[in-house]
Amino acid sequence: MELKDIQVRLREAISHSGVAQKDIAKAIGVSAQTVSKYMKQDIFPALDTFAKLCALLDVRSDYILGIAVY
């Protein structure tokens, strides 16, 4: 799996969560602009932020990373 595939899965998880980007940002300790960049640009969160994001979105990190397929 390539980084672009991982980013697509992360974007989908954020989109399907139903949680506003500003609320996601507040919960994981980043700016709303940073969450927007996760959605629109080719950036990926730091590992600690990624872990918080997965927990908040109730999505398994191994799915996002392409290690497991559900």
* Residues of the domain holding 42: 3-64
Q: Residue 69's pLDDT is what?
A: 57
Q: What is the CATH number of the domain that holds 12?
A: 1.10.260.40
Q: Per the domain annotation, does 39 fall within a domain? A: yes
Q: Is 18 left (phi over 0), alpha (psi -120 to 50) or beta?
A: left
Q: Per the domain annotation, does 69 fall within a domain? A: no
| C-alpha to C-alpha distance for 24 and 55, rounded to whole angstroms | 11
Q: Per the domain annotation, does 70 fall within a domain? A: no
CA angle, 42 as apex, 1 and 60 as ends, to 5°? Answer: 50
pTM: 0.81
Q: Residue 70's pLDDT is what?
A: 54
Q: Per the domain annotation, does 43 fall within a domain? A: yes
User: pLDDT digit string (tens) for 3-56?
Assistant: 788 888 888 998 999 999 999 999 999 999 999 888 887 788 999 999 999 999
Mean pLDDT throughout 63-67?
87
Total residues found in the chain within this entry: 70
Question: Domain tally for the chain?
Answer: 1
Q: Per the domain annotation, does 50 fall within a domain? A: yes
Q: Per the domain annotation, does 34 fall within a domain? A: yes
Q: Per the domain annotation, does 48 fall within a domain? A: yes
Q: Residue 59's pLDDT is what?
A: 92
Q: Residue 25's pLDDT is what?
A: 95
